Structure 1
Amino acid sequence: MNSRELRVLPKQHGRVAVVTGGTRGMGYETARHLARLGMHVVIAGNERTEGAAAVGRIQEEGVEGKVEFVFLDLTSLKSVRQFAQAFKDRGLPLHVLVNNAGTMMVPERQTEDGFEFHFTLNYLGHFLLTNLLLGMLKRSGRQGCCSRIINMSSATHYAGVVHMDDLNRRICYSSHGAYSQSKLALVLFTYYLQEQLTAGGFPVTVNAVDPGMVDTALYDNLWSLAQTLKRPVAKILFRTPAEGASISIYAAAASEMEGVGACYLYNSHKTQSSDSSYDSELQAQLWKKSCELVGLQI
């Protein structure tokens, strides 16, 4: 989907969106465009100064919607709970949740809760956030105008393996393996949650999106030689953050996505995800284990 196509998306006045990692890169472009469509956009991120600057830049464009920044550290389950409770206390509806924030190829490290960093930031924090805000999404949607959840996955999920007995990757750590596992987990989560929502008759859709190779700060963790080699290639082969964000914007606002869930979207088309992502038993196992890890009732 190109910028011209994005301009013809329907206006979104009266709808509220939360975009994680919305201070820069694809998250920023997603927040910016949803605000241009008239949404009230809450940018959730862990850099207050960067957040204020992002809000200022978007407001300077004279967007139709409202935009604000609220602190959220997805690597902290406490912070996720605080964000969700504060959002609920405001009494706002919630129509769109874009689980965009992510990290890639960081050296082995644990979060304050003792979980592997990629797994927590890319997946587990979003799993908890989504579940805590799910009641609001259900109440805000209606038939013919569903609430929408968008999970940012990646083509690396095709190489991903979810180690149910070692989700923290402590036995044999690989930054690429940890990253691809987290992105596969998001697709498994997408399909399982949509199945539960459909079975309950709730007006909420969940889709996973693949932005392709995008020139963002995610690649900052590549080792120095790879960084040097990447720069000229990125100018030719990589998408810009705005181009990468177009798929999330499409999933969040396009009329043809109304009521459509359980998709893996690439270039605005439903694409086959990895074989393992359709494993219903693995989906259920991961859901159960994730609930245990974050302290949710199953």
Structure 2
Amino acid sequence: MLRTIFSKKHYVFNDIPDLSGKVAIVTGANAGIGIVTARELARKNVHVFVACRSKEKGESAVELIKKETNNDSVEFLQLDLQSLNSVKNAAETFLARKLPLHILVNNAGMLTQTFGLTQDGIQDQFGVNHIGHFLFTLLLLPTIKASAPSRIVNVSSIAHKLTPPGGIEFDKLNDPNAHTAFQRYAQSKLANILFTIELNKRLSGTNVYCNSLHPGGINTELTTSVLSNWFFGLKPLVSIMSLLLLTPDDGALTQLYCATSPEIEEKNYRGKYFEPFGVLGKTSDFGNNEELAKKLWDYSENLVKEKLGDDVLSKCLA
């Protein structure tokens, strides 16, 4: 954590080039590093869609971004990652606009202390952090490919290194007693990396650059709430740990690097994992396991088809 805080910033807001004519979607862009990412893209003249569950919070974020950037091309897109039908509807709503899509930042995430299920009966952290983004990305993929050069950015976490021994225990994902809350989160964050690896293989021969990242420990309400629960009764320790966390502005730098830096194309970064602030990082051994990545893809594809029907991904995977 200390190394991250005091690391030299390889990429800063001023390094973002002018992106006039580009269109981006940022999930979970109503708060935290998501709203910072959307704001800085808008500042560089991107047409930005703020994709999140709450209409009230999303529209409030849109107005704030417009005010701070003087860019009126910022819109709210209803997206509830706890519902695959909502994900499908969000993709269809965007596609109906007939716009290109140059940047997709899968930023939204869920970290909770309790076990729960999504509306589709999927363990909630895995469903929101991976399955929802898996479906959203694939539904948008034909347009992303047609808009190339384009970027897909999957926000993971260093927490992916703390999974159970099998990496992702597919047969136990919906067992409320199989894993701790943090192990459930870790598996979902490993899934973000593995999805990136397998998707990148399937994008071979295209000018779509797909990468994942750890943004750093961010000082957000969610993070401090979780720390307070984990270290209940040790408020001074939580206060000290909070001081060591990155600001949302600094926390957004690595995903902005993946989404906007010319280096991504110049150095042909594909299927890579980055750490603050825009430098190549090292995953766990599971994070490099192509066999596990393929297994995750097949599991995710079959799960989506089970919930929404066999034809939902037919055009995307053609």
TM-score by length of 1: 0.93
Following TM superposition, by how much is the alpha carbon of 1:205 offset from its aligned partner in structure 2, in angstroms?
Answer: 1.0
Cα distance, 1:263–1:57 mapped onto 2, change above 3 Å = same
**1:256 and 2:263 matched:** yes
The separation in 2 between residues aligned to 1:237 and 1:116, in whole angstroms, is: 31
The separation in 2 between residues aligned to 1:71 and 1:3, in whole angstroms, is: 34
Which of 92, 95, 100 is equivalent to 1:85? 92
**1:209 and 2:219 matched:** no
Aligned length: 292
**1:16 and 2:16 matched:** no
Cα distance, 1:18–1:256 mapped onto 2, change above 3 Å = same
Alignment match, 1:28: 35
Alignment match, 1:291: 301
Identity %: 38
**1:194 and 2:200 matched:** yes
The C-alpha deviation readout for 1:173-192, integer Å capped at 9, x for no partner, is: 31101000000011010011
Alignment match, 1:95: 102
Structure 1: runs of 5+ lacking an equivalent? none
Q: Which amino acid aligns with 2:150?
A: S
RMSD: 1.9
**1:157 and 2:148 matched:** no
Q: Which amino acid aligns with 1:149?
A: I
Following TM superposition, by how much is the alpha carbon of 1:228 offset from its aligned partner in structure 2, in angstroms?
Answer: 3.1
Alignment match, 1:166: 172
**1:178 and 2:187 matched:** no
TM-score by length of 2: 0.87
Q: Which amino acid aligns with 1:179?
A: Y
Following TM superposition, by how much is the alpha carbon of 1:49 offset from its aligned partner in structure 2, in angstroms?
Answer: 1.1
Alignment match, 1:138: 145
What SS does structure 2 have at the residue aligned with 1:165? Answer: helix
Following TM superposition, by how much is the alpha carbon of 1:229 offset from its aligned partner in structure 2, in angstroms?
Answer: 4.4
CA contact (8 A) 2:209 2:264 kept: no
CA contact (8 A) 1:208 1:265 kept: yes
Following TM superposition, by how much is the alpha carbon of 1:234 offset from its aligned partner in structure 2, in angstroms?
Answer: 4.1
What SS does structure 1 have at the residue aligned with 2:153? Answer: strand
The separation in 1 between residues aligned to 2:271 and 2:132, in whole angstroms, is: 20
